[in-house]
Amino acid sequence: MSMIHLVVGGSPIDLYICEILAGMGLPFERVGRRSIGGPGKYVAVLAGDVGLEAEDRSRLREFVRGGGALLSIGSANGLEELFGVRGITSLGEAWLRPVDPVFADLKSSLHVFGGIAFNLSGGKALFEAADANGEPMGYAGAINRFGKGAAILIGADLPRSIVHIQQGLRIERDGEPAPDGSAPIDDGMLKTEDGLVLDWERDRDELEGVRLFLRPIADELRIIIVKSILRLASLTGLPLPMIWRCPAGARGIGLISHDTDGNDPEKGRRILDVVRDLGLKTTWCVLYPGGYPPGLYGELKRCGMEIGLHFDAMTGDRFRRWSFESLDVQRQWLIDMTGVEPLSNKNHYTRWEGRLEFFRWAEELGLRVDQSKGPSKRGTLGFVFGGSHPWRPIDDEGERPRLMDLIEINLFSQDMIFLGSPQASPFHPAIVGSEVGRALMEETARVGGVAHFLFHPAHIDRPGVREALRELVEHGRSIGLVWMRSDEIWRWERFKREVRQEIEVEGERLIWRIAPPEPSPCDVSLLIPRPAKVLKADAGEMGDETIFGFRFARLTRPLDGPVEIICAI
């Protein structure tokens, strides 16, 4: 069995809790409402309004009273007494403020969309909610000890908020530009930023004279869920293990991509020399038509680079417009030119229309990573779509919601320069100094995400560009990031989500069985909560780690087949 039993509510987006928990490496299983609160040691999680009946609520009250743990997200599910709250009201758009020390390390504005607010009647506050003017809206998080157990209510609908921030609005017209003129996204070209839902004022910070999305809001909303589960497990004596988000014990992942605008082979070779000297493998998104000479593609392959697509839906002729046909033609052209079936794509000029149609096209054609969600303007640099965690889109517009078979890796910036280089100066309004990139990498490492930077070969000879690329790669390594290609990140993210975890507690022993779907593409960090002591683990490098404020023993090893770990608890 798993140590997290999950009941998913009736709203299509409630299903997204499965993607959140899987992406964070937590051991969970979906169960029906009639079985939640039954015998066993586990954290019960209710995502949304799950339609509890009187019998279900009674069973859950007894479960918690007897020492169980319960988390409900977005709805109290008729269990106000258990959570120690009263006076529930609807919560629209809001910003959360932590009032509990467990969440004090969260740095973003915690912008949320939907859920409930409430007053307290015995519970302890975790979060207060405020509107856009800073006016209080009530509490949006509470914890309560109930009998021998514990319960947490997160009133804000975190899965809905994460999806809304990531997938954005349906794009049919230009978005609203930033009032300060830093992000003129009303430029007559439909692109990902036109679906932006974050707030120009409350969700941006200033750094080195640049107003940007400096904090990963959606990542921190995920972390609220993880912290809540880990806290409940700790309070009720459950030694809840998990798989760390990043491979080989890394604090985060770095990704460099190159869009081949202009397809100049000499500039392509020069930037290849730079990344090869750095010991880096990068992702090259090739623009139709023309491309590079065959010899350069061969050199890229020999150097371990990834060849992907740079879909042009901007030029506007028959095969370069916003259509499935154009994407299909350009993908097939790339296969014919390179002999490589691409897994990764970035849309030229971050072009986008609608909401989900491009994801559906990409999925049908076998593209497994998109990189288009990112900035084209100076004022949208950073975490404009909420974060650094790779995410699966949810198709919530059909008859049945489903998680789609691809990931999005958000983009942070389009080229940077090292301002300390002679004659270095911004050559485009969106270009900033590499110190901004360092800050974004440090935020990424704080939340275990992917720091994704774009460097065009077309700009490699401009003053300060080579130096910026070197500085970012070296700084990333110094703070614990591992640099990977886009396709490698896809294989890691898919692997992590497909690992099966089963946990048994026998007296004072925990048995954690881990069954990978295939040999792991890289080493995996297995986290066992302290003060548990590992008695049997076959092999691996042991260490200690503090993750999201909780102490773990870390065992880093490959997963070539089933593994059994036995711990004293």
Residue 260 belongs to some domain of the structure: yes
Share of the chain above pLDDT 70, in %: 100
Render pLDDT for 201-248 as a digit per residue (tens, 0 to 9): 999 999 989 999 999 999 999 999 999 999 999 999 999 999 999 999
Least confident interval from 84-98, 350-364, 468-482, 503-517: 503-517
Let me know if residue 93 belongs to a domain. yes
Averaged pLDDT, 5-26: 98
Q: Give, for 70, the enclosing helix (H) or strand (E).
A: strand 69-73
Q: Are residues 259 and 149 in the same domain?
A: no
Q: How confident is the model at residue 534 (pLDDT cuts 50, 70, 90)?
A: confident
Cα(178)–Cα(203) distance, integer angstroms? 12
State the pLDDT at residue 474. 98
Looking at the domain assignment, is residue 182 inside a domain?
A: no
Span 427-450, mean pLDDT?
Answer: 94
Write out the residue range of the structural domain in which residue 142 sits. 4-163+216-243
Could you tell me if 431 and 540 lie in one domain? no
pTM over 0.85, yes/no: yes
Query: Which of these three, 448, 471, 493, is where a domain ends?
Result: 493
Least confident range from 37-46, 359-368, 465-474, 526-535: namely 526-535
Q: What is the pLDDT of residue 429?
A: 82
Same domain, 406 and 515: no
pLDDT interval class at 479 (50, 70, 90):
very high
Q: Which residues contact 418 (CB under 8 A, 6 or more apart)?
A: 424, 433, 434, 464, 465, 467, 468, 470, 471
Mean pLDDT of 523-539: 87
d(CA 405, CA 19): 11
**516 shares a domain with 457:** no
129 found inside a domain: yes
Instruction: Report which DSSP code applies to 235.
Output: H
Confidence of residue 569 (pLDDT cuts 50, 70, 90): confident
Instruction: Give the total number of structural domains in the chain.
Output: 3
329 & 376 share domain = yes
Residue 522, token pair as written in the block: 């890289």
Shared domain for 223 and 296, answered yes or no, is: no
Q: Residue 443's pLDDT band (boundaries 50, 70, 90)?
A: very high
Q: Sorting pLDDT into bands at 50, 70 and 90, what band is 419?
A: confident
Domain boundary among 477, 493, 509: 493
pLDDT of 84 reads: 98
Q: Is the pLDDT of residue 541 over 80?
A: no
Q: What pLDDT is recorded for position 226? A: 98
Q: Is the pLDDT of residue 270 over 90?
A: yes
Domain boundary among 493, 515, 542: 493
Structural domain contains residue 189 = no
Band (pLDDT 50/70/90 cuts) for residue 108 is: very high
Cβ atoms of 45 and 69 within 8 Å: the answer is: no
pLDDT tens for residues 278-330? 999 999 999 999 999 999 999 999 999 999 999 999 999 999 999 999 999 99
CB atoms near residue 280 (< 10 Å): 20
Burial class (CB in 10 A: 0-12, 13-18, 19+), 47: buried
pLDDT reported for residue 234: 96
Q: Let me know whether 88 and 136 are in one domain.
A: yes
- The pLDDT of residue 140: 98
For residue 524, list its beta bridge partners. Answer: 557
Average of pLDDT values for 71-92?
98
Does 254 score more than 80 pLDDT? yes
- Identify the band that residue 1 occupies on the pLDDT scale cut at 50, 70 and 90: confident
So what's the pLDDT on residue 182?
A: 96
Residue 408 lies in a domain: yes
pLDDT of residue 559: 94
Would residue 183 count as lying in a domain?
A: no
Give the Cα separation of 386 and 121 in Å (integer): 33
Residues 158 and 227 in one domain: yes
Residue 33 sits in a domain of what CATH number? 3.40.50.880
Query: What amino acid occupies position 441?
Result: M
Please, which pLDDT band fits residue 467 given cuts at 50, 70 and 90?
Answer: very high
Same domain, yes or no: 234 and 319: no
